[in-house]
Structure 1
């Protein structure tokens, strides 16, 4: 293993020993009262999940990076075709008014300080080929992001570090279930003062928007969240330590549990099903379990499934312990 910023990851020699699933029916590795972790290929999951049962498909697939990663990735048009083919095979498991959220990050073009348009091409293809609606672009600001790509940011100093990733929110319908009241943010001190004095005075802003007398006088329990989630990805050290203690490689690309939690609360209700076809370290599953949702994950590399299992030491059903 080798150190990479705040995380430990396998060297190329170590990655050769990861156990990849074969095509076919996924295998159940562990169960909890609310969920099921499968070892298998993402595109095979539709064979074992009830059609029309998933409220939220939340996932972070491998990005279209020009450098191959141990968890697998395509590049260019091959990536667009690959992602569309997997989503197409998984669409039958979703509720008609369910949501699909795909977390993607920027990829720089090989040997160039310019950014690939693979994300935009993939989303346009998902709309054109599968008829999916783009509900909104959400963004994740990782306040602990490393200064990458290192050549352009740290060496030549001609670019800013990439610290924002896009969460593409799509759905088969244009009005999927969502409720922003589930992720309200605390009011600012200024807003609390405004509510206490009975709201704003009548005014007209330079932008042309008018404010009527008494606006913002009602306490709704918090302010509406913006489409920017500011959450540090500091490495999830407890997960990393557990993997190392068990002799397992930690997954190198982990979504923060807090980010998964906010999306789950926004786009699903308790007891509904959340599905992550690229389960990775189990962040989506862990968040869903804690929030009282049903969950399913698939992951192609067996060692990563075993690492995710460590997140559920107190919830494993006896047969899977």
Structure 2
């Protein structure tokens, strides 16, 4: 374990997460972390260079973190995990491995965890996969989304969906201008009052579905405001631009900064503590720093730790200090 760098809000450790936990986090941060958010190595059937395990080995590895995560989280803290689908090796059959991993995690007898809600991150621009069955044999469709599991120690973790509103639709904006709509009983048997939708709340409640890029360029994608800001801001291109300039191959499985921003704002307040145990190029730390949260990140591979430093060279941090 080695602390590689610190910032105004956080610190990054090079090393195996279980070692960082036993040598540092266990003593200093038990029951103090508000949010653990991570995109761990996916349980693929063929090993990738970023270090994933396979099969039963992965299940045991994944389950072992349940009591560790639980001990670090505050009683009202949250655990957010992004993970992709898995396919059986050499077969056009989807594996249950990722679902078994979830079940083992939340059913661990000493962790007291439960699944709060599932989210879907849909990216229509993803490359066709699994390639053998999609582009060669043409017998499956493109696997174009990942799961995000929101897990917690209690039924009521800290959360406020008013902090992650999405823009109103055009029809809702018109309704607010007209100050009237068709009220009364609906076919669903819900009763809509005469003033139920006349209050302007600044936006509509977010859905548990993130469409990161539109299928139809003419159609507006109504992601939450903070997801949009991290998706559209040119500052988010800084990391990839610098990697290209320096001839660095960026981490191949980066969490989208907009997704990290959504959960950090939804589930924490400023100066709360956020942890990413499998940080990769440290999207979590970058976003947490931007949103004025304290953070801790751990990463096993030195090449990803080194490239993560680029994120904090982003000129946007200097601009924030000047304001």
Q: TM-score, normalised by structure 1?
A: 0.85
**Cα distance in 2, alignment partners of residues 149 and 43 from structure 1:** 32
**SS of residue in 2 equivalent to 1:48:** helix
How many residue pairs end up in the alignment?
290
The aligned residue for residue 20 of structure 1 is none
The aligned residue for residue 30 of structure 1 is 5
Q: Following superposition of structure 1 onto structure 2, how do residues 198-237 of structure 1 map, counting pairs within 5 Å?
A: 198-232=179-213
Shift of 1:303: 1.1
**Which one of 115, 119, 134 corresponds to residue 98 of structure 2?**
119
**Cα distance in 2, alignment partners of residues 119 and 86 from structure 1:** 15
**Cα distance in 1, alignment partners of residues 123 and 8 from structure 2:** 32
CA displacement 1:133-170 (0-9 Å, x = unmatched): 10000111113211111111112221111111110100
Give the stretch that moved more between structures: 86-95 or 300-309: 86-95
The aligned residue for residue 302 of structure 2 is 302
Shift of 1:210: 2.1
Q: Following superposition of structure 1 onto structure 2, how do residues 186-197 of structure 1 map, counting pairs within 5 Å?
A: 186-197=167-178
The aligned residue for residue 286 of structure 1 is 286
1:200/1:215 contact within 8 Å kept: no
The aligned residue for residue 92 of structure 1 is 71
1:30/1:38 contact within 8 Å kept: yes
Tell me if 1:74 matches 2:53: yes
The aligned residue for residue 251 of structure 1 is 251
**Which one of 19, 24, 31 corresponds to residue 48 of structure 1?**
24
1:140/1:164 contact within 8 Å kept: yes
Shift of 1:238: 3.6
The aligned residue for residue 274 of structure 1 is 274
**SS of residue in 1 equivalent to 2:148:** strand
1:64/1:79 contact within 8 Å kept: yes
**Cα distance in 2, alignment partners of residues 213 and 269 from structure 1:** 35
1:57/1:276 contact within 8 Å kept: yes
**SS of residue in 1 equivalent to 2:286:** helix
1:42/1:86 contact within 8 Å kept: no
1:199/1:215 contact within 8 Å kept: no
**SS of residue in 1 equivalent to 2:117:** strand
1:60/1:255 contact within 8 Å kept: yes
1:248/1:303 contact within 8 Å kept: no
**Cα distance in 2, alignment partners of residues 225 and 310 from structure 1:** 31
Shift of 1:182: 0.6
2:70/2:113 contact within 8 Å kept: no
Question: Structure 2: which 5+ runs fail to align?
Answer: 214-230, 319-323
The aligned residue for residue 163 of structure 1 is 144
Query: CA 1:284–1:72 in structure 2 vs 1: closer, same or farther (change >3 Å)?
Result: same
Q: CA RMSD in A?
A: 1.9
**Cα distance in 2, alignment partners of residues 189 and 237 from structure 1:** 30
**Cα distance in 2, alignment partners of residues 205 and 44 from structure 1:** 57
**Which one of 87, 102, 111 corresponds to residue 81 of structure 2?**
102
CA displacement 1:199-225 (0-9 Å, x = unmatched): 433232222222122220100110000
Q: TM-score, normalised by structure 2?
A: 0.85
**SS of residue in 1 equivalent to 2:116:** strand
Higher helix fraction: Structure 1 or Structure 2? 2
1:65/1:108 contact within 8 Å kept: yes
Tell me if 1:152 matches 2:152: no
2:257/2:287 contact within 8 Å kept: yes
Question: Structure 1: which 5+ runs fail to align?
Answer: 1-25, 317-321
